[in-house]
Amino acid sequence: MSWYDIFPLVSTSFILISGILVAIGWRLIIKKKREAHEKVMVAAAIAATLFFIIYVSRTIFVGNTMFNGPESLKTVYLIFLLFHIVLATVAAVFGITTLTLAYRKNFAKHRKVGRTTSLIWFATVVTGVTVYVLLYLCYPGGHTKPVIQAIFG
């Protein structure tokens, strides 16, 4: 197994772990277990951050994966991927906002924004895992040049 195979599996695992932890954290706060909620949500944020670091590292040093499925699905896949990227970006902004509100102990706003953030995050996790399945399990394909190689040759 090469770095090309390991990076996507590990990064997708972290995003899935993050989503599971957010679900657990949501359940904990419903049960009024605030301290446990805080710990689990910090762990979820750490898992999401590890995903991001691995994803960016892979893009820079290894390259990304091109869709290798049937040409008839390529447009649908690219629209789905764009939806996932936009969703992930929105989720990241909402996540940072939600964590900041909690850190500042503005729990009224944290509660309102947190619900929305969680739902967006769940959708991001599902679409992210779907992208992984399509690119690495259903239609394994070639990858592009690493960004660092594309820039510096």
List, for residues 80-127, the tens digit of each pLDDT value.
999 999 999 999 999 999 999 999 999 999 999 999 999 999 999 999
Residue 147 has pLDDT above 80, yes or no: no
9 contacts 51 by C-beta, under 8 angstroms: no
Model pLDDT for residues 16-66, shown as the tens digit of each residue: 999 999 999 999 999 999 999 999 999 999 999 999 999 998 888 888 888
Would you identify the CATH topology of the domain 3-152?
Answer: Four Helix Bundle (Hemerythrin (Met), subunit A) (1.20.120)
Output phi, psi for 134, to 5 deg.
-65, -45
Q: Tokens 């990241």 — which residue?
A: 92
CA triple 96-18-137, angle to 5 deg: 125
Q: Tokens 């989503």 — which residue?
A: 19
State pTM to two decimals.
0.89
Q: Which among 121, 111, 116, 136 has a CA at the least distance from the CA of 18?
A: 121
Q: Tokens 């969703």 — which residue?
A: 87
